[in-house]
């Protein structure tokens, strides 16, 4: 039996991965279950929804919800969650516990130790200590150093996260029990993508000559939509054909709307909100912008690359990996608006002069970073001896 443990299941890249893997395992007759908590206004910092949990239940995937598991630090509830997880692991005795997310990573590995679980895989979707300062950052770093011994294997979504751990004083032997598996996505065919591009642009009042810079993600602190608006103001000064779209919803929508109005961008900036079927929208962008303060390796970037769209992003975690491997990924130092704007110009130049590079790299992403390949690689980890290395091909 394999148990996947994750703090909660709102809409997001890591949660979609858990859903995809457990759905395939369940449909193929494997014994799998998810342990998770709930998202709500009181217990969640962001993404206060349970959309992936709803999908899990609708798909009939076995799931148990811990009423105490939350992403906010709460000594009493964290202790209750630890006991809840430990009791259920002791009862089920799974062969593998596959853990995702920072809070579950700490409580889950400790629970596995108490329950005598022999094989514990921690899936790192970006380290919490890769984020800027603060007490929580230092606490997570210290805990991760200590919990290294409680982890049989790691799966990383980027090689940069391994290097960050070592550079911050972590055990350099972590590579001996690590697997690097990039997230996989599903893609529309290029033909369907082109049809959606024409239809959606027409619906949004955009012409073929408009240069659309877009992003898809939550309107929250991590995704940093405010700096996207600031970048839009600066880029609009040098590109009169530029329009900007951010697809997604979140707590900071009102603040973003106020900033758009204050910078006189309301006639060039669109906020469609949450879109249930967001896949076609990747094809309306000419350039995809990622302004997050921190990321693991977001599916949104993989989907943008697969649609033949250049990406401009702030360099953090998995984005460092992609920046080194893809000519169509343009990196800027975190928070550097001037350099980000310059890279938007470079991305547009690639659209004009190097469309062959975009097509080549889009094909590579479709062949190597799809969900089938990701699933095969994770199943290979389950079947392998602990400590063996499974690395994806990353030559472009």
Q: What is the pLDDT of residues 31-60, one digit of tens each?
A: 999 999 998 766 656 667 899 999 999 999
Instruction: Give me the pLDDT at residue 314, please.
Output: 95
Instruction: Write the pLDDT tens digit of every residue in 278-336.
Output: 999 999 999 999 999 888 888 899 999 999 999 999 998 888 899 999 999 999 999 99
Both tokens assigned to 195? 């049809």
CB atoms within 10 A of CB 111: 27
What is the Cα–Cα distance from 267 to 367, expressed in whole angstroms? Answer: 39
Average pLDDT score over residue span 208-231: 94
pLDDT at res. 394: 45
Q: What pLDDT, on the 0 to 100 scale, is given for residue 130? A: 63
* Window from 131-135, 216-220, 242-246 with minimum mean pLDDT: 131-135
Distance CA 154, CA 318 (A): 15
Amino acid 391: pLDDT: 44
Interatomic CA distance for residues 381 and 387, integer angstroms: 9
Average pLDDT (101-124) is 95
Residue-level pLDDT at 127: 81
Geometric angle at alpha carbon 235, from 229 and 238, rounded to 5°:
155
The confidence band for 72, taking pLDDT boundaries of 50, 70 and 90, is confident
Contact 329, 305 (CB under 8 A): yes
Mean pLDDT for the chain?
A: 91
The pLDDT of residue 42: 65
For residue 393, the model assigns a pLDDT of: 44
CATH 3.40.50.2000 matches 190-368: yes
- Joined together, the tokens standing for residue 57 give 């239940």
pLDDT at 392 over 50: no
pLDDT of residue 364: 95
- Percent with pLDDT over 90 in the chain: 74
Half-sphere exposure of 76 (CA within 13 A, CB side): 0
| Confidence at residue 192, expressed as pLDDT on a 0 to 100 scale | 93
Q: Within the chain, which residue ranges are assigned CATH 3.40.50.2000? A: 2-184+370-383, 190-368
pLDDT, average across residues 100-110? 93
Under 8 Å between Cβ of 177 and 203: no
129-176 pLDDT tens trace:
666 556 667 787 888 889 999 999 999 999 999 998 898 888 899 999
pTM of the model: 0.85
Per residue in 328-386, pLDDT tens? Answer: 999 999 999 999 999 999 999 999 999 999 999 999 999 999 999 999 999 999 998 66
The predicted structure's pLDDT at residue 139: 80
What is the pLDDT at residue 388? 47
Mean pLDDT of 193-221: 93
Name the fold adopted by 2-184+370-383. Rossmann fold (3.40.50)
């Amino acid at each position: 039996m394999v148990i996947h443990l994750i703090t909660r299941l709102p809409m997001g890249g890591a949660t979609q991965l858990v859903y995809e893997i457990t759905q395939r395992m369940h449909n193929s007759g494997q014994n799998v279950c998810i342990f998770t908590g709930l998202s709500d206004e009181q217990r969640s910092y962001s993404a206060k929804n349970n959309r992936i949990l709803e999908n899990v239940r609708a798909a009939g995937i076995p799931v148990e919800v811990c009423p105490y598991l939350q992403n906010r630090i709460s000594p009493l509830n964290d202790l209750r969650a630890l006991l809840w997880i430990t009791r259920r692991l002791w009862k089920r005795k799974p062969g593998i516990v596959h853990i995702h997310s920072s809070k579950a990573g700490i409580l889950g590995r400790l629970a596995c130790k108490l329950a005598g679980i022999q094989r514990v895989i921690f899936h790192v979707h970006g380290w919490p200590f890769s984020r800027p300062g603060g007490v929580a950052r230092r606490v997570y770093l210290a805990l991760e150093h200590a919990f290294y011994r409680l982890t049989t294997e790691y799966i990383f979504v980027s090689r940069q996260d391994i290097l960050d751990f070592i550079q911050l004083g972590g055990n350099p032997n972590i590579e001996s029990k690590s697997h690097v598996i990039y997230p996989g996505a599903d893609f529309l065919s290029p033909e369907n993508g082109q049809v959606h591009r024409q239809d959606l642009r027409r619906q949004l009042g955009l012409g073929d000559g408009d240069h659309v810079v877009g992003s898809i993600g939550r309107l929250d602190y991590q995704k940093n939509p405010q700096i996207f608006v600031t970048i839009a103001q600066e880029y609009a000064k040098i590109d009169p054909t530029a329009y900007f779209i951010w697809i997604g919803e979140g707590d900071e929508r009102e603040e973003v709307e106020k900033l758009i109005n204050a910078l006189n961008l309301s006639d060039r900036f669109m906020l469609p909100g949450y879109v249930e079927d967001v896949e076609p929208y990747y094809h309306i962008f000419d350039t995809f912008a990622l302004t997050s303060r921190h990321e693991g390796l977001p599916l949104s970037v993989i989907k943008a690359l697969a649609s033949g769209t250049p990406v401009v992003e702030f360099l953090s975690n998995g984005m460092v990996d992609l920046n080194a491997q893809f000519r169509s990924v343009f990196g800027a130092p975190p928070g550097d608006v001037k350099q980000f704007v310059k890279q938007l110009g470079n991305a547009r130049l690639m659209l004009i002069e190097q469309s062959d590079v975009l097509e080549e790299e889009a094909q590579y992403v479709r062949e190597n970073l799809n969900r089938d390949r990701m699933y095969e690689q994770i199943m290979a980890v389950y079947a392998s001896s602990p400590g063996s290395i499974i690395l994806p091909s990353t030559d472009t």
